[in-house]
């Protein structure tokens, strides 16, 4: 069962790398899909994507969080400022920023929280963690109710 969720900092890169495996989760994506133009994403999948994302992690701030069972990373959630994922802000997306006539650019409530990965063998544990988080959310302070 997931026992902690922590920010992905440079010292946790080995755990992230282990979670994503040799190929990088999602066919070598390494969570760069929303971070770079489509042409770069297609060209970089695999080792180039890994190197790009590793530089991002080393530079900081943390681009997301890792879920752990003991010392093993079992889940990943990319979360952060929208500016970190420019492709997420495309005008073709329902969550794109909008401009009011003569006013500043405004954002819809959705933020960059679009990527989740988990080890297949650990999916049930991660699902239990997610359910436990929902059960004790501010909307439901009494999880037994």
Mean pLDDT per 10-residue segment, the chain (145 residues): 94 95 86 86 92 95 94 90 74 64 53 52 36 41 44
Contact 30, 52 (CB under 8 A): yes
Burial of 29 (0-12, 13-18, 19+ CB in 10 A): buried
Residue 12: the pLDDT is: 98
pLDDT of residue 98: 62
Closest CA to 54 of 13, 90, 84, 89: 13
């Amino acid at each position: 069962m997931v026992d902690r969720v922590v920010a992905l900092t440079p010292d946790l890169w080995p755990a992230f790398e282990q979670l994503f495996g040799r190929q990088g989760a999602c066919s070598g994506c390494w969570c760069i899909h929303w971070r770079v133009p489509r042409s770069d994403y297609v060209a970089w999948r695999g080792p180039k994507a890994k190197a790009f994302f590793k530089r991002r992690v080393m530079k900081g701030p943390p681009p997301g969080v890792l879920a752990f069972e003991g010392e093993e990373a079992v889940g990943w959630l990319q979360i952060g400022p929208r500016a970190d994922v420019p492709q997420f802000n495309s005008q073709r997306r329902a969550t794109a920023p909008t401009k009011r006539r003569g006013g500043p650019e405004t954002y819809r409530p959705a933020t960059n929280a679009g990527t989740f990965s988990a080890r297949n063998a650990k999916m049930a544990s991660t699902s239990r963690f997610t359910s436990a988080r929902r059960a004790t959310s501010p909307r439901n302070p009494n999880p037994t109710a």
